[in-house]
Amino acid sequence: MSRPGLREVLERLNRSTDRASRIAEDPIAFPRRFRDPADIEIVAWLAASLSYGRVPLFSAVLERLLDRMGGRPRAYVERFDPAVELPRLRPLYYRMNKGIDIACLIYLMREVVRAHGSVGALFAQGAGPDDADVGPALESFLSRVLAIDTSPVYGSHRHPYGLAQFFSRPSKGSACKRLNMLLRWLVRPDDGVDFGLWTFLEPSKLIVPLDTHVLRISRYLGLTRRRTGGWQTARAITRRLAEADPADPLKYDFALCHLGISGRCPPASVPACCRACPLLAECAKGRAVTRAPSPPELLAEPASFPAVPCALPGRRPRARIRSSKATSGP
C-alpha cells in the first residue's frame, strides 16, 4: 500500500536540505573532489571504509592518505607496493584500524583493479537480475575480495580484526552501513550528492545505510519498531521507504541522515525543532511533542528550520570536511 503522506513529507525534507553545505560535513566530500570515475571509485571505497566515529578523526586520516596518493588515487593503487608503502603507512591508525590494516585494504584494491579492471567490474560479477536486493551481490563481492592472499602485507594469509572490520557482511546480520553507503554513492543517479557510476545495478535494489540517526528517525516515522540496527532492520526500513519511491527508495537517505547529524532532529524533544520539521505530519514523536493533529490535517509546507541547529545546550558543532577543487580528470 502506498503512503502519499510519507512521500510528501520526505519530498519536503529533500527540498529543505541544503545539499551543498551538508556535503561539506559528509564523507562523500572526499570522492567529490575528483572527476575521473576510476579515482572516484577508489576514494569512495576508502572514504566509506573509514567513515565511522567522529568526523574530524577519520577525516584527518583520509587527508593523509589522499596526500600520499598525490592527487592520482587510481594510479597510486595500481602501483602500490606493500614493501615500499607499508613503512610509510604503518604510523597511521584510526580506532580499530592500524596502519597495516589500511595498507592491506589498499593492497586488496590493487589486486581487484589489476584482475578486473575496476571495483565495479568485480561487483557486477555477483549481481543477479533476479536478486531481490543488493545483498547477494554484496556477499559475493566480499567473498571474492577476502579470498585474495594477504600474505604480502601480513606475512601470512589472515584477516585480523582491524582488516575484517572493513568488511561487515549481511550473512552475519550486520547492517553493513558503510558498504551500503558506498553502494548508494556509486549506484544512485548523479543528483549533486551521489555519482551514478555503477549503472549495472538498479537503485531499487539498494539497502539503506542504516546508522543511529536514520534508525531513530525511522522509528519516529513508524517505518520500523525495531530498536537495534542490523541487516533485517535495514531491509525493513528500505521496504517502507520504497512505498514513497519504489524505483529509488534511497533518494531520501542523505536528507534523513543529515537531519540527525545537523542537530535539527535531536534525540531529546525540542518543540521548536519539531514544529519547523518537514516530517512533522508523519512523525508520531513530533506530533506528541507539539500536540499537533494527526495527518492528513497537516498539509501546509512548514516554516524553515531555526537558523541555529536544534541542539541541546553544550552540544559541540561538527567539524566540516575541508573542501578542495577536483584534483584529477579533465
pLDDT at position 291, please?
A: 83
User: In the predicted model, what is the mean pLDDT of residues 116-143?
Assistant: 97
* Position 305 confidence tier, pLDDT thresholds 50, 70, 90: low
Q: How many structural domains does the chain have? A: 2
* Position 330 confidence tier, pLDDT thresholds 50, 70, 90: very low
Instruction: Give 71-82 pLDDT, tens digit per residue.
Output: 999 999 999 999
Domain assignment present for residue 7? The answer is: yes
Average per-residue pLDDT for the chain: 90
Q: Which value, to the nearest 10 degrees, does the dihedral of the CA atoms of residues 217, 222, 226, 230 take?
A: -60
3-state secondary structure of 244: coil
3-state secondary structure of 272: helix
Q: Quick one: CA dihedral 186, 254, 18, 73, positive or negative?
A: negative
Domain assignment present for residue 313? The answer is: no
User: In the predicted model, what is the mean pLDDT of residues 154-172?
Assistant: 97
pLDDT at position 307, please?
A: 46
Domain finish residue from 147, 180, 207:
207
Q: Which three cell numbers, joined as nine digits, stand for 12?
A: 519536503
Minimum mean pLDDT range among 66-75, 145-154, 220-229, 286-295:
286-295
Instruction: Give 195-234 pLDDT, tens digit per residue.
Output: 999 999 999 999 999 999 999 999 999 999 998 999 999 9
User: In the predicted model, what is the mean pLDDT of residues 262-272?
Assistant: 91
pTM of the model: 0.89
* Residue-number span of the structural domain to which 259 is assigned: 1-25+210-307
User: In the predicted model, what is the mean pLDDT of residues 307-317?
Assistant: 48
Q: Are residues 160 and 141 in the same domain?
A: yes
Is 30:62 a contact under the CB 8 Å cutoff?
A: yes
Q: Are residues 223 and 190 in the same domain?
A: no
pLDDT at position 327, please?
A: 39
Q: How far apart are CA 110 and CA 78, in angstroms?
A: 5
Q: What is the 3-state secondary structure (H, E, C) of 33-90?
A: HCCCHHHHHHHHHHHHHHCCCCHHHHHHHHHHHHHHHCCCHHHHHHCCCHHHHHHHHC
Instruction: Give 83-118 pLDDT, tens digit per residue.
Output: 999 999 999 999 999 999 999 999 999 999 999 999
User: In the predicted model, what is the mean pLDDT of residues 133-161?
Assistant: 98
Q: List Cα–Cα distances, 307 to 26, 256, 272, 273, 321, in angstroms.
A: 20, 18, 12, 11, 21
pLDDT at position 133, please?
A: 98
For the chain, give the number of residues. Answer: 330
* Position 322 confidence tier, pLDDT thresholds 50, 70, 90: very low
Q: Are residues 162 and 146 in the same domain?
A: yes
pLDDT at position 292, please?
A: 66
Q: Are residues 250 and 224 in the same domain?
A: yes
Which percentage of the chain shows pLDDT scores above 70?
Answer: 87
Q: How far apart are CA 15 and CA 12, in angstroms?
A: 5
Domain assignment present for residue 314? The answer is: no
Domain assignment present for residue 319? The answer is: no
Tell me: pLDDT of 51 over 90: yes
Instruction: Give 10-43 pLDDT, tens digit per residue.
Output: 999 999 999 999 999 999 999 999 999 999 999 9
Q: Are residues 72 and 148 in the same domain?
A: yes
Domain finish residue from 155, 184, 207:
207
